[in-house]
Amino acid sequence: MNATLRPATAADAQRVASLLIDTRSAFMPYAPSAHPDEELREWVAGQLLPSGGVIVAEIKGAVVAAMHTEQAEGISWFTQMAVDPALVGKGIGSLLLAHALRTLPLPLRLYTFQANAGARRFYERHGFCAIKFTDGQANEERCPDVLYELHAPRTEA
C-alpha cells in the first residue's frame, strides 16, 4: 500500500477526528468513548493537533491513518493510532510505527484495551511486551487495559 507520511496540519482536524471515531466504533464497541463525537472533534482541533506530534498517512491525497506520539520523563508514548477501518491489515500501521521508531527515543509505551485483540497482535508482532494489566478504573472508559513497552525494535517485523 503506497502511503506517504506527513505532519498533520489544522486542516486535518475533521478527518483525524473521524478516524478516531470510526476506529472506535468499528473495533472497540465494548469501550465507547466517554465523550460525545462533537466534543472529541473540538479536542482534536483545539488540543491534539496544536500540541504537535500528529503524523498522518495519505494515499492519493486522502488521509487514511493518524498517529500521535509524545515524550514525557524520558519515555516516548503512542497516545493515538488509528487506521481507516476499510484499510486495516495493509501495512499502514507498520509504516507509522516505523516512522515513530526512527524519530523517537526508546522505550516506547502505549496503553490499549485488553479486549483489543487486533491491536495487541499488531504491537506484539512488532516486539512490544505487556508490562502491566489494569482493571481499567484509571481510564475514562473504565475498561481493562494493558500497558505495552518496546525497548528495542524487532528488525524482522
Would you say 13 or 82 has its CB closer to ligand COA? 82
Instruction: Write down the least CB distance from residue 94 to ligand COA, Å.
Output: 3
Least separation in angstroms between residue 152's CB and ligand COA is 19
Going by DSSP bridges, is the β-strand pair 129-133/4-7 parallel, antiparallel, or unpaired?
Answer: unpaired
Cα–Cα dist 135/116, whole Å? 14
**H-helix segments, the chain:** 13-27, 37-43, 92-103, 117-125
Interacting residues toward ligand COA by CB under 6 A:
23, 27, 81-83, 88-94, 110, 112, 116, 118-119, 121-122, 125
Q: Which is nearer to ligand COA, 49 or 83 (CB)?
A: 83
5: CB partners within 8 A, 6+ apart:
55, 56, 57, 58, 95, 96, 99
CB of 41 to ligand COA, least distance (A): 18
Q: Looking at beta carbons only, is 45 or 91 nearer to ligand COA?
A: 91
Shortest Cβ contact with ligand COA: which residue?
Answer: 93
Query: 112 - beta bridge partners?
Result: 146
